[in-house]
Amino acid sequence: MATLVPFHVAIIMDGNGRWAKKRGLPRIAGHREGAKAVERVIYASLKRGIRYLSLFAFSTENWKRPEPEVYGLMNILKVYFLTKIEILKWAGVRIRFGGRWWELQTDLVNLIEKAIKSTEKNKKLDVIVYLNYGGRQEILDAVASIISQGNGSLLSEETFRSHLYMPDVPDPDLLIRTSGEKRISNFLLWQLAYTELYFSETLWPDFGEEELDSAIAEYNRRERRFGGVL
């Protein structure tokens, strides 16, 4: 039986800090290694024919972390967008962003806008990076948008979806969370209604092709019913 590759994979990339702590390194070292894991998983997704890859990079709650860690994370993002976007562009990757990314530092917002523009015609793999994102905030923003447009009386699931941050992106087929934690942490609350959940013990900086294949294999053992009966 052929392996069914999920159309859309979402990942909560967890465990950077614990990876660093185990090695006696500062937390920011774990985030740097985590950026390398992002690159591995993007190319692994391309090879396997995954069409959408959503990555939870920085949540609205992450602002509570120590200022040096937040500052370091933002610098890692800047370096990544400066050095990797052209390579990803030529690989056929379209880079997109979910969340309130426009509220970030101006220089980072400029790099984000450049990444969006330079890769917008690519169609092999959409990588959606969720920055300054919270699932509850997305729902509140959608409701506010609906109210502002006076569409409340015509509300349906389709209308509501059209006001989400990424309305054209299909719901994830598979959500992977690394580091052994078993929660979704305010990520894609609306979109995960019928998503298969997979929890990996691997810390994110160690995650790669083998771990992705394990998640896909488990996905193939599931029976997706979407509320119905088989």
Catalytic residue among 14, 16, 132, 173: 14
Other CB atoms within 10 A of residue 40 CB:
14
CA distance 180 to 190: 23
CA distance 209 to 203: 14
CA distance 156 to 30: 43
Q: Is 14 a catalytic residue?
A: yes
Q: Which amino acid is at 193?
A: A
Percent helix, strand, coil in the chain (nearest 5)? 50, 15, 35
Instruction: Yes or no: say if 41 and 200 are a contact pair by the CB < 8 Å rule.
Output: no
Catalytic residue among 62, 75, 122, 220: 62
Q: Is 62 a catalytic residue?
A: yes
Q: Give the residue numbers marked as catalytic.
A: 14, 62
